[in-house]
Amino acid sequence: MRLVVTSDTHLPKRARDLPPQLWAAVDAADVVVHAGDWVSVDALDALQARAARLIGVYGNNDGPALRARLPEVAHAELDGLRMAVVHETGPSAGREGRCAARFPGVDVLVFGHSHIPWDTVAPGGLRLLNPGSPTDRRREPYATFLTATVASGALRDVQLHRIGQ
């Protein structure tokens, strides 16, 4: 199962559309995960129209229309892999421990908000992933998103993609 993981797209405030590189990955994916801060319902509609399956949550910049359609936290099982998605996880200090306590029984937690790519493993084995942002790199050198595969309950081949690289 091929995954695309993105967050903090901030359309149309930070870009008019998603980068072509991300759209190509979406078109090839079995599942697309979006960890919030869509900003516009049009962005959600566009991704829903092209994704084979979409798992998404709302973020702090998402208004009532998006909050009406998306949960704050999403849970999914993908070929035996237990995943949760949330926008915010708080400060980076202590993140692994907080998230492991908040999401027991989860193998992978996808989050956003910081626009900073993150890939760590908490005590107990919870893997935390933040794809960064494909449209608003903030202090990062590149705009980014992630791809990965899931097979037999395991997350594999996690790759951070730099937009334009």
Q: What single-letter amino acid sits at 27?
A: D
Work out whether the CA dihedral 136, 141, 144, 146 comes out positive or negative. negative
**With left for phi above 0 and alpha for psi between -120 and 50, is residue 126 left, alpha or beta?**
beta
pLDDT of residue 60: 97
In the numeric block, which tokens belong to residue 101? 């306590």
- The radius of gyration of the chain's CA atoms, rounded to the nearest angstrom, is 14
Domain 2-162 has CATH 3.60.21.10: yes
Tens digit of each residue's pLDDT (9 = 90 or more) over 85-113:
999 999 999 999 999 999 999 999 999 99
Tens digit of each residue's pLDDT (9 = 90 or more) over 51-64:
999 999 999 999 99
Tens digit of each residue's pLDDT (9 = 90 or more) over 17-54:
999 999 999 999 999 999 999 999 999 999 999 999 99
- Domain ranges within the chain, ordered by starting residue: 2-162
